Amino acid sequence: MVALDCRGCSAAYLGGALIALLLSGLAQPHDISRRPLWNLKMDQALLRIHNELLIDNLSIYWVSDYCYECLQQELISIQMNRTSKEAHIVAIDTQHALTLMVNHFKKGKELCRIHYHFGEYGNYSLRIRHLQSNITNITCDIIINQSHINSYLPILFAFLIYMAIFIILMIGQICINTEQVRNWFFKKMDPRETDRLINSELGSPSRTDSIGGEFPVGVWNTASSLQRLRSLDTFRGLALTIMVFVNYGGGKYWFFKHQSWNGLTIADLVFPWFVFIMGTSVSLSLSAMLRRGCSKWQLLGKVLWRSLLLFLIGLIVVNPNYCLGPLSLDNLRIPGVLQRLACTYFVVAALELLFAKPTPENSTLETSYPALQDILPYWPQWLFMLALEGLWLGLTFLLSVPGCPKGYLGPGGIGSLGKFPNCTGGAAAYIDHLLLGGKHIYQHPSSNVLYLTTVPFDPEGILGTINSVLMAFLGLQGGKILLFYKDQHKQIILRFCVWSIIMGVISMMLTKCSKEAGLIPVNKNLWSISYVTTLSSFAFILLLLIYYLIDVKKVWSGAPFFYPGMNSILELK
């Protein structure tokens, strides 16, 4: 019955999700019919430019608020026409606020500027005119001809639908658990089927394997030892679910796409969270295997084989685009998501195996500082990680990159006022180009959309792997907390809070609580240290909440995220 209930719940959640997606797709604003206007695309608006100045030609430039220290980009050049009063029409971006600059074409003098956030599928007019009181002064005004649509309504409708499904399921679960409803249900069923269900639950007297029979002690111990923490699978499943949603477009919302350079979006959260929980699972799995008597060398061979297999899957199956033809080694991308996971998994698992300490049955070690029993015995691992981070810092800030300043962390392109157009990623990109070659790394990074970069850059490159190892190692520490303080819920929650605060403070120091002005900004493309500390801080808090709701209070089963989380490709059994 328990298995049947689980399948029923998962089916209900899946069906509800499909209904929500269908209804949210239909829940478009009533004025979506304006989309065909001038062939506008998503995240675009129509701008009519009215030049009322009787002077030479004008040039209109724009720059996005999200483009840090960027060169101005020309939007349109307007020729003087004294006889025609027709407006010039252009499509303009609506994802972020913009600054429009109107310049004199010949003199290059800025006549006026205006800051505005246009709405999707809106119809606007830019009026360039003289002030009535002073003909020498020029002003720019934005006039709304037709209001924009609310492109966030589908998200609201989807949220309301999911909440309604959740409430219905909760009410149904409460009703099913009441004795009156269960009795009515059994009465409506065939009596023979009712007897079979009762016997299957209580054990038929004619069977020798009934509940009342005695089982060997070892059977109970094995079942107990294999008990899983549902919170870990739920955390992993949540990351996987968001990852799949993002990979399939994320509804084309900008916050479901990767950040162009510095900063965070929802899409930037899931990969490091998956790496984090992978480290947690490695700690629990290897500890269980060592307690069962498996040798370290045997486990190391298993880890090596799985890492190699995962790397090859990413290299040969995932990376190539076979729609364009057969596999070609001339331009095969070597780095990738699965390759990054494989390398990270191998380093963290090998590090844990080499310096693993046997976890005693009472989950405590004899040490001078009991509060640090999950840290001090593993000091060689921490020294190794500090050495790795020293290597990352040294290469990032001290390596000489031709044509680029030392320690450059910018996007290149039109960023940094166009001073370093070919320096995208600094030392990280230089190492990839030097060791792998420009044809074997990612050709279309997220930076080319906003910063118009032309140099290939791989967000899963070699240098960033060091910090992904750090992310998994912090997850490994979370697993040790669960091991050493098993069933001590207050201790686990307290330590998760402390680690989250420590990582958050480090992030604030590195970034100066700023997106761009910090010493080391949060950057997913570079996998900067601040990116790892920030995301690990979030991960500890999120894991704390899920652990409290599922494994402590048991008010949530983890569905529907629990089910995909159980079938992770990196699960070590």
| Catalytic machinery residues | 258
Q: How far apart are CA 483 and CA 283, in angstroms?
A: 8
Q: How far apart are CA 441 and CA 332, in angstroms?
A: 8
10 Å Cβ neighbour count for 155? 13
Element (H, E) at 75: strand 73-78
Residue with tokens 């290059």: 108
| In contact, 539 and 275? CB cutoff 8 Å | no
Residue with tokens 């027709």: 86
Residue 568's identity, in one-letter code, is S
* Backbone CA torsion sign across 510, 515, 520, 523: positive
Residue with tokens 């060398």: 297
φ and ψ of 112, to 5 deg? -165, 165
* Residues ≥6 apart with Cβ < 8 Å to 64: 70, 93, 95, 96, 97, 98, 450
Q: How far apart are CA 353 and CA 296, in angstroms?
A: 6
10 Å Cβ neighbour count for 531? 27
Residue with tokens 């038929």: 204
* Residues ≥6 apart with Cβ < 8 Å to 458: 333, 335, 429, 432, 441, 442, 445
- Nearest residue to 525 (alpha-carbon basis) of 428, 436, 441, 439: 428
For residue 328 the two structure tokens come to: 């070609």
For residue 185 the two structure tokens come to: 């249900």
φ and ψ of 148, to 5 deg? -80, 170
For residue 351 the two structure tokens come to: 């590090």
* 3-class state of residue 303 by DSSP: helix
φ and ψ of 76, to 5 deg? -165, 150
The beta strands (E) that lie in 94-197 are given as 98-104, 110-116, 123-130, 138-146
Cis status of the peptide bond prior to 421, with omega within 30 of 0: no
Q: How far apart are CA 395 and CA 162, in angstroms?
A: 47
